[in-house]
Amino acid sequence: MPPERRQLTEGATALGLAPSSGQVDTLLAYLALLAKWNRIYNLTAIRDPARMLGPHLLDSMSVIAPLRRWSPDGARRVLDVGSGAGLPGVVIATLIPAFEVTCVDAVGKKASFVQQAAAELGLRNLHSRHARVESLTERPFDLITSRAFATLVEFTALTRHLLAPGGAWLAMKGKHPTVEIAALPASIAVFHVEQVHVPGLGADRCLVWMRPRD
């Protein structure tokens, strides 16, 4: 088994996931496509495809089990804000095909890459938007995610108009963001902070779940 496939498969197992062979193929094809585009468009600071696997793929895969617990019935509309090269949006669309995932980024080359990735990887549930999220006009989303996009205050304020009734925000963070949580307005409730362990990453990771107060 090629080392990247072994690392991805073993990492998925450590995260409590059992992706199909086809899903592993898709994720590795995405990694190869990202490396190819990165040589020209500088989509990510990590240049070596082998080194992208942990900080990008496995890190993004850490949200999959929590998302499945959050939505056991499957179908949901998800917006990935400041998605960059499609992380975690591409990973979510690959591993939870019932989700309709839209990635939005203000940088045109990154939005174009996600659009190309959706086409080349055959991910019909993955969509790309080139826009500033505060000006985005879309049908509301059940879940809005971000990975290293902004502070919790900025993240929720800029996307509030896009959240469906009963929806939630999910922010991927490093260390527990105590100061950011304290700065949230009274209209936003943090209902869960979930520690996650990303295999081989050696860094703190947590997921901050939020929703508007009734």
Q: Which two tokens stand for residue 63?
A: 């949200």
Q: What does the pLDDT read at residue 50?
A: 63
**Would you mind telling me the total number of residues written for the chain in this entry?**
214
**Bridge partner list, 169:** 144, 210
214 neighbors 192 (Cβ within 8 angstroms):
no
Which whole-number Å values give the CA distances from 51 to 8, 40, 57, 127, 192, in the listed order?
12, 18, 10, 26, 31
DSSP 54: I
Q: What does the pLDDT read at residue 79?
A: 98
Instruction: List the CATH number of the domain containing 172.
Output: 3.40.50.150
Per-residue pLDDT of the chain (214 residues; tens, 9 = 90+): 788 899 999 999 999 999 999 999 999 999 999 988 887 777 675 566 667 777 779 999 999 999 999 998 878 999 999 999 999 999 999 999 999 999 999 999 999 999 999 999 999 999 999 999 999 999 999 999 999 889 999 999 999 999 999 999 999 999 999 999 999 999 999 999 999 999 888 789 999 999 999 7
80 neighbors 141 (Cβ within 8 angstroms):
no
Torsion from C-alpha of 131, 140, 93, 115, nearest 10 degrees: -30
Can you tell me the distance from the alpha carbon of 18 to that of 20, in angstroms, rounded to the nearest whole number? 6
145 neighbors 78 (Cβ within 8 angstroms):
yes
Can you tell me the distance from the alpha carbon of 18 to that of 155, in angstroms, rounded to the nearest whole number? 31
Q: Which two tokens stand for residue 25?
A: 């193929």
- Structural domain count, the chain: 1
Structural domain of residue 136, as residue ranges?
A: 3-212
Helix-strand-coil split of the chain, %, nearest 5: 45, 25, 30
Closest CA to 147 of 189, 105, 184: 105
Q: What does the pLDDT read at residue 47?
A: 61
β pairing state of 205-212 and 188-196: antiparallel
Can you tell me the distance from the alpha carbon of 171 to that of 159, in angstroms, rounded to the nearest whole number? 12
Can you tell me the distance from the alpha carbon of 21 to that of 27, in angstroms, rounded to the nearest whole number? 10
Give the model confidence (pLDDT) of 104-161 as tens digits. 999 999 999 999 999 999 999 999 999 999 999 999 999 999 998 899 999 999 999 9
User: Hey, which bits of 41-162 come out as E strands?
Assistant: 76-81, 99-105, 126-130, 141-147
